Amino acid sequence: MPKLTAQEITEDQIKAVSNKVSKYQANVQKPSRSFKTAALAANDKRINRLRKSIDDGTYERAMQAVDEVEAIATASKSGQALADGVTKRRNKILRFHEKFGPIRERIQSEVNNMAQASQGDRDQKMLENAHRLQAAKGTWR
């Protein structure tokens, strides 16, 4: 069997994935188990792997191998994919804003009622706003 070059292997993988898109899309519609349940069950494994990568320096070594020019070029080509991904998640984004909106408005109202006569007051107001929004992170779930 002839040895394939890295280029040939890459092209074969891309071709194989492209040919299986419709099968993938059909299978996504009928999962064999709940991805949410599976992800929660695997949380300890995720934590352990993260700790291991921190302890053995895997992350640092991987980041050393990153080609910044290539990464930026790849990201630059992905703009439409980002827009498509955001568009696909319209309902998720809407749910977030429906649930977090009232929390944000309450914080905004409270912060707007703070003193703002001096620069110190204004600085404190900005810090308080940032702290309250940070504390509220995730509370909408």
pLDDT of residue 123: 94
pLDDT per residue as tens digits for the range 55-103: 999 989 999 999 999 988 887 777 777 778 888 888 889 988 888 888 9
**For residue 1, what pLDDT band results from cuts at 50, 70 and 90?**
low
Q: How far apart are CA 93 and CA 87, in angstroms?
A: 9
Burial class, 104, CB count within 10 angstroms (exposed 0-12 / middle 13-18 / buried 19+): middle
Q: How far apart are CA 130 and CA 124, in angstroms?
A: 10
pLDDT per residue as tens digits for the range 95-132: 888 888 889 899 999 999 999 999 999 999 999 999 99
pLDDT of residue 121: 93
CB atoms within 10 A of CB 89: 12
On the question of pLDDT at 4 being above 80, the answer is no
pTM: 0.48
